[in-house]
Amino acid sequence: MPQEVQLFNFEKAEVRVVSIDGEPWFVAKDVAEVLGYAKPRNAIASHCKGALIRGVLTAGGMQDMTLIPERDLYRLVMKSQLPAAERFEEWVVGEVLPSIRKTGSYGVTCHAPAIPQTLPEALRLAADLAEQNDRLQSVVAEQAPKVRTLEVLTDTAGAICITDAAKQVGIQPKALFQWLQENRWIYRRTGSTRWLAYQPRLQQGVLVHKLKVIGINDETGQQKVAEQVLVTRKGLVLLGEKLAGRVA
């Protein structure tokens, strides 16, 4: 079945996006070329773990294209040597994804049922609503454990360190640090051992920086401080959704 294509332009370069099951998938070749990979096919094979091939309707007709999910786009960004890679990521997070959600092609759109005009139509509507209610009850029962987890996370007051966040979402701290790094939440500057949050994550409100005292300067007697990455309440909820069911 052909996928509906949305076109976006990043600094005069075209990036195509399609929606599959309510999630945005990017044409891998477009992303790799924008990020300056000399051999896009090799880069996709090396760095993209969730790539798939789908028929996409283009001006030249139906074509099979390699599509990648959002997490693989961030992997290509992280491995890119292009100075514009960070601008590209911020463009995706700040413009592309909000635009997709706004146009309604990201996620599921619900429509209210038409008002019945006759008794048979009213009976048919009642039967349909009863059937939908049965399905809804089944989904609620299935998702109840996840909902309880998210309620606990939402009640968490203030931002907490990544180690404590790992306990909240039920995985080992080392695994969470690795996940955050692979998914472009945190990074280290060259030669540094301290983690920093990527700017788009700060803008999203899922991470914050906090100054932490790490010692005293022997020469001046002044406190030495460094930035520490903390996970916000919003970030905990998002992590809970993304990591639900993962084994620690």
Query: What type of residue is 174?
Result: K
Distance CA 156, CA 213 (A): 24
Distance CA 24, CA 27 (A): 10
pLDDT at 88: 93
73 φ, ψ (degrees, to nearest 5):
-60, -45
pTM for the full predicted model: 0.45
pLDDT at 122: 63
pLDDT at 159: 85
Which tokens hold the place of 141? 């029962």
Distance CA 8, CA 161 (A): 36
pLDDT at 105: 45
Distance CA 223, CA 215 (A): 6
pLDDT at 244: 72
pLDDT at 224: 65
Rama region for 3: left / alpha / beta (φ>0; ψ in -120 to 50; rest): beta
Distance CA 154, CA 197 (A): 21
Mean pLDDT in each 10-residue stretch from start to end of the chain (248 residues)? 76 89 90 94 92 81 88 92 89 87 48 55 64 59 48 53 88 92 90 87 88 67 74 88 62
DSSP at 3: B
The per-residue DSSP string of 139-197 comes to: HHHHHHHHHHHHHHHHT--S-EEHHHHHHHHTS-HHHHHHHHHHTTSEEE-TT--SEEE
